[in-house]
Every structure is written in C-alpha cells, then in structure tokens.
C-alpha cells in the first residue's frame, strides 16, 4: 500500500510540475480549436475504455477469485495479465490528449511504465510463488500490460466483458466521476489556452462523444 501511495505521489508531482511549465509557456499548446476537439474526442474515448476495463477486471476477479485462492485467467485477464493497470494507463492517456499538448503522451507512457513496472514485477513474483507452473504457462500466453495488437481486432467483446460483473463493484462510480473531472479540466484548459470557455458546450460535446462510444460498444457487445 505504501508503495502505491508513493507511486501516486510521484505521478501527482509530475502532473503539477508539467502543468506549471505549460502555464508559463502557453505557446506549447496547439491553437487550432478543430485539432483540439479531435484530441478531445480520442482522449475521452480512451478514458471511457479505461473505466470500462477497470470495471470489468475488478468485477471478474471478484466473481472468480475468492480471497486470491485461484488464478484468474479468463475474462479481461485473457487479454493482458494486468488489465487494471492497462485501464489506468488508458484513463491517464485520455486526460493527456484532452488537457495537455499531444507530445506529452509518450512522456506519460514512459513515466507510467517506469513507476508501475516495478510494482507489477513484485506482484508477479508473489503469483509465481503462489501458483507455480500454472502461472508460468499463463505468462507465456498472455502479455503483461499492453495487449497484442494483432489480436485486438479479433476480440469478441462478450468473451472479455460481462455487464453484470462490471457493475458489481465500486469501480462503476468511475462512469460518473471520471467524465465529471474531464469536463472540469477541459473547461479550465479552454479558459487558459483560448481565454474563454462554455461549460455547457463542453458537457454537450463530451456527452455526444460518450453516446457515440456506447452505441458502438453496444453494437459489438451484442454480436
């Protein structure tokens, strides 16, 4: 727990420092509102994907692992061994695209890897001791954090996502709070970069983006 708190503190310090730098150098932002809207679209989709992945992973583990007595290798754990971390990465990357210049994204991914990889290794050592050869076979078949992109297009959503499981934990609150935070930060960014903002327009824009995402999600989920 202390290590995770330290990780969160490090990332928070990075966010504060970078925000301060960008505050003093506003010219680093893209001034085109059209381009900014495109980044907002893709950023918000990443946030929603990350939230749903975390919901699915937490709910699936709750349903199939009683007090960590069994190794969970089904559901989203077929996609990557650490779907919770991947979900967190997607959420963070989404905010980067929405709030900061695009070139901050590789910096964020590098920082994410540096800070979380050590924690993942510690957790994997524990799982190896607990499940032995079963976990070794699982590691050979499934990537650690980032999925095999050649397999992503072949994914059957129902195989990895259960609506009932996803709604069974507190992670579902993220469907409200992460978008609310996105509205707040996007409004602040527009005020800072363009000198004005309209919170209602931001809410409508992100609602349209979110609605489009969930329509597509439903289409693939029922297939």
Kindly tell me if the per-residue pLDDT of 134 is higher than 50.
Answer: yes
Q: How many residues does the chain have?
A: 223
User: What are 152-191's pLDDT values in tens digits?
Assistant: 666 667 777 888 888 888 989 989 999 998 998 888 888 8
Question: What proportion of the chain, given as a percentage, has pLDDT over 90?
Answer: 31
Task: Indicate the pLDDT class of residue 128, thresholds 50, 70 and 90.
Answer: very high
Does residue 102 contact residue 30 with C-beta atoms inside 8 Å? yes
C-alpha span between 65 and 50 (Å, rounded): 22
Average pLDDT, the chain: 83
> What pLDDT sits at residue 15?
66
Distance CA 23, CA 32 (A): 18
DSSP calls for 48-95: HHHHHHHHHHHHHHHHH-STT-S---SGGGGT-S-HHHHHHHHHHHHH
The pLDDT confidence band at residue 46, using thresholds 50, 70 and 90, is very high
Say whether pLDDT at 4 is over 70. Answer: no
Q: Is the pLDDT of residue 222 over 70?
A: no
pLDDT of residue 151: 67
| Closest C-alpha to 214, from 50, 84, 48 | 48
pTM: 0.86
Cα–Cα distance between 161 and 133 in angstroms, integer?
27
Average pLDDT of the segment spanning 32-58: 90
């Amino acid at each position: 727990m202390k290590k995770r708190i330290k990780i969160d503190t490090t990332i928070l310090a990075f966010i504060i420092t970078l925000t301060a730098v960008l505050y003093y150098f506003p010219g680093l932002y893209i001034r085109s509102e059209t381009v900014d809207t495109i980044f907002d679209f893709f950023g918000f989709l990443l946030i929603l994907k990350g939230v749903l992945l975390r919901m699915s992973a937490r709910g699936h583990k709750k349903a199939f692992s009683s007090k960590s007595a069994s190794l969970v290798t089904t559901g989203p754990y077929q996609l990557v061994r650490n779907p919770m971390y991947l979900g967190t990465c997607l959420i963070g990357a989404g905010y980067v695209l929405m709030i900061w210049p695009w070139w901050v994204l590789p910096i964020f991914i590098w920082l994410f890897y540096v800070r979380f990889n050590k924690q993942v290794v510690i957790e994997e050592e524990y799982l190896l001791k607990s499940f032995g050869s079963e976990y070794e076979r699982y590691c050979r078949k499934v990537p650690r954090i980032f999925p095999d992109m050649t397999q992503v297009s072949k994914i059957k959503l129902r195989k990895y996502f259960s609506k009932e499981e996803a709604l069974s934990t507190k992670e579902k609150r993220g469907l409200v709070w992460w978008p609310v935070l996105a509205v707040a930060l996007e409004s602040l960014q527009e005020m800072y970069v363009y000198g004005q903002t309209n919170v209602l327009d931001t809410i409508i824009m992100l609602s349209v983006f979110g609605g489009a995402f969930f329509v597509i999600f439903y289409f693939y989920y029922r297939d």
